[in-house]
Structure 1
Amino acid sequence: MSPIPHIEGVLSADEVVQTAESIASLQLDTGMIPWFPGGHCDPWNHVETAMALDVAGLHGPAERAYEWLVDIQLPDGSWWNYYLPDGSVEEAKLDTNVCAYIATGVWHHWLCTWDRAFVDHLWPTVQRSLDWVLSMRKPNGTPLWACTADERPWDYALLTGSSSISHALKCGAQLAELINEP
């Protein structure tokens, strides 16, 4: 396990843990971590919060956060853009960047915990999400930003979203190599 990061005179390890504990206090029984009490949640920021929990050594809540994504993943490998605490969908848009990011989070979890069994457990979810993202490309390979609920792709890409997808694909490749997946 990794030591708790800190920056002398700026942010102590105790403050990092205190911040992560405040994030964990928002976590619902389902594993969802809303932006604020009663607020919505999107899978991209949800992965970011799980990563923050891992940095602070709160691996149990981080794993529950990933389990929530496993539980709500759509059959095609995607997730809706925003969910409410009751499990309903607030925004029925499918964003490629949002869906790819779980690979980054699971790779980060591996680097924080060295828990191979958890990686093995999450791999099918990661693989389905990346397969869906790769299905959402222009003929030149550029990932489209999103599609509508009725599966009509938007016709453009975002630099920031594409950059995040590129990183997530690299993390997915690292995970595949780790578990000897072709």
Structure 2
Amino acid sequence: MGLDVAGFHAEAEAAYIWLAANQNADGSWFAGYQESSPSDRALDANFTAYIAVGLALHTRLHGETLAAQLWPTLERAIGFVRRLQRPTGEITWRVGSNLALLTGNCSIHHALRHASALAAALGRPRPAWDDTADRLRLAISCPGLFEPKPHSMDWYYPVLGSVQPETALAADWDRFVVPGLGVRCVHDQPWVTGGETSELALTLATRGRLAEATTLLGQVERLRHADGSFWTGYQFEDRVLWPQERTTWTAGAYLLAQAAVTGNPAVHAVFGELQTGI
């Protein structure tokens, strides 16, 4: 998605084609790959569902051709995710796990809504996908169903995933947002991270809070390396960059947030309050 909004459309399309070529028979993907070989063979529901969000963004930018080509891939992926839904509505983290994670479920809700919209746009409506999303949305309102975690993602993802309204961010703003520095990864550590700061900026920008989003995105710049990548985070008590890694997901989140701040309509449509249709 970051490549798409940065203008690298062919490269973004190649990534989706790679996903289609490497999808497991049950519709999933492995949790991690190195040089195209599986490095983590866990089968994660959230990772698998998220292709729907990427295809929704690509469709907004370039039309339905790729989504139509990858329809079997999308249908298998959503089928895998739906099989992990419990009777109480939440979706388990991965195959073989009894854990349900709030952030992951909010992200899956977002993906299911876009998957359903894509299906309708392609003339292949799947009302059962909306039923799954409706049950999931109800489950997310029952936090006792989810593993307690100290992460800021559990605070803002219900908003980013269009489960809660933007006003829900007020509750823990001071717990996670460090003035002048960005967003803590976890509430009990003096550590702000570029990925979380960018994702909150994306959430705010797509809900009309442009000034706050712009300020947060500017704070990510302290993490920028000379080659354009970003360090993962900054430990502000010790005043050190930590850990010593520069990840593609931080860069991807930054690119999406930058696109939102500058008014990219496709990003606003996909990550803002959910709209119907593509």
Q: Which bracket does the TM-score occupy, shorter chain normalised?
A: 0.5 to 0.7
Shift of residue 102, structure 1, vs aligned partner: 2.2
Provide, for residues 148-172 of structure 1, a one-character-per-residue CA deviation record: whole Å limited to 9, x for no partner. Answer: xxxxxx3x6532222111222168x
Q: What SS does structure 2 have at the residue aligned with 1:30?
A: coil
**In structure 2, C-alpha distance between the alignment counterparts of 1:163 and 1:101, rounded to whole Å:** 11
TM-score calculated relative to the size of structure 2? 0.45
* 8 A Cα contact 1:79 1:94, kept in partner: yes
Aligned length: 150
* Stretch moving more, 122-131 or 91-100: 91-100
* 8 A Cα contact 2:22 2:29, kept in partner: yes
Alignment of 1:100-139 (within 5 A): 100-110=106-116, 112=118, 114-115=121-122, 118-136=125-143
**Residue segments in structure 2 that go unaligned for 5+ positions in a row:** 59-65, 165-270
Aligned identity (percent) is 13
Q: Residue type matched to 2:102 in 1?
A: T
* Stretch moving more, 49-58 or 68-77: 49-58
Higher relative contact order (CA closer than 8 Å, sequence separation 6+) = 1
The answer to whether the aligner puts 1:161 opposite 2:154 as a matched pair is: yes
**Residue segments in structure 1 that go unaligned for 5+ positions in a row:** 84-88, 138-143, 148-153
Larger Rg computed on CA atoms: 2
* Stretch moving more, 109-118 or 66-75: 109-118
**Compared with structure 1, are the counterparts of its residues 105 and 73 closer, same or farther at alpha carbon in structure 2 (3 Å cutoff)?**
same
**In structure 2, C-alpha distance between the alignment counterparts of 1:6 and 1:127, rounded to whole Å:** 30
**Compared with structure 1, are the counterparts of its residues 115 and 163 closer, same or farther at alpha carbon in structure 2 (3 Å cutoff)?**
farther
TM-score calculated relative to the size of structure 1? 0.65
Cα RMSD (Å): 3.2
The answer to whether the aligner puts 1:26 opposite 2:22 as a matched pair is: yes
Aligned to 2:53: 51
Q: Residue type matched to 1:47 in 2?
A: A
Shift of residue 46, structure 1, vs aligned partner: 1.7
- Please, which of 105, 124, 144 is the counterpart of residue 99 of structure 1? 105
**Compared with structure 1, are the counterparts of its residues 165 and 6 closer, same or farther at alpha carbon in structure 2 (3 Å cutoff)?**
closer
Q: What SS does structure 2 have at the residue aligned with 1:39?
A: strand
